[in-house]
Structures are given as C-alpha cells and as structure tokens.
Amino acid sequence: MINIFGQQMCAVNSKIQQNSKRIILWFIIFTSLQLVMPVKSFIQQTYKRDKLNENVAKDLRLMDLLKRSAEKNWEEIDPNCKIYRNQSLHAVMDRVCELCHEMFSYEESSLRAECRKELLPQ
C-alpha cells in the first residue's frame, strides 16, 4: 500500500514538473509578446506623427509662399491688374484668413489681423 502510494506520488510529481515547464514556456512566450506589442504601437505612432509633421511642413511652406506673394505690390507691377481689384477674390481670401485663424489661433493670437494685412489691399 505504501509502495503504491509512493508510485502515485512520483507520477503526480513528474506531471507537475512537466506542467511547470509548460507554464514557464507559455509565460516566456506571453511576456515576450507583451514586450513586442508596445514596440509595434510605438512604430505606428511614430509613423503617424511623421505623417502629421509632413502635413504641417507642407502647410508652413504654403503659408511662406503666400506671405512672399503678398509682399509684392501688384498695383505697382500692373495697375490694370483685374485680380487685384476683384472683390469676390478678396472675399475668398478673407474667408481663408478666418479659417487660418480658427486653425492656428492657439499659436498666434493676432494671426488673422496679420494675414489680412499682408493679403488684402489697404
């Protein structure tokens, strides 16, 4: 009886050892997957952030081009310029200034006034 009990205990003990090896293996796999997921998330966020920076850079280049074109006095270049006297175009540009102010007013409070001063005729 004691001999049978001892054999059963050895069998149970060997199963526990096998299960503990499996548990350790699964724990290592699970932990490594958890470590890989934040790296994947970081890569995705970095890609999106770079895309956002690219869009901001494009907008800044466009604003720079608009500013440079606004520095020219079109009336001195061509007094008969119809675009310079086109009121509907100036209304559109005023709307652009409003939208620009709505988008970027948190960075610069007087942005709309500066935009209108540079883009619209005095």
The pLDDT tens digits of the residues spanning 20-68 come to: 777 777 777 777 766 666 655 555 555 555 566 676 777 777 776 666 5
Per-residue pLDDT tens over the stretch 82-93: 766 677 777 777
Q: Which two tokens stand for residue 49?
A: 């952030």
Decide: pTM greater than 0.85: no
- Other beta carbons within 10 angstroms of residue 119's beta carbon come to 17
Q: For the chain, what is the largest distance between any 2 Cα atoms, rounded to a whole number of angstroms?
A: 117
Per-residue pLDDT, 54: 72
What is the Cα–Cα distance from 33 to 40, expressed in whole angstroms? 10
Instruction: Break the chain into its structural domains and give their ranges.
Output: 73-122
What is the Cα–Cα distance from 16 to 4, expressed in whole angstroms? 18
Per-residue pLDDT, 67: 64
- Other beta carbons within 10 angstroms of residue 110's beta carbon come to 10
- The residues, ordered by sequence, that sit 6+ positions from 93 with a Cβ below 8 Å of its Cβ are 119, 120
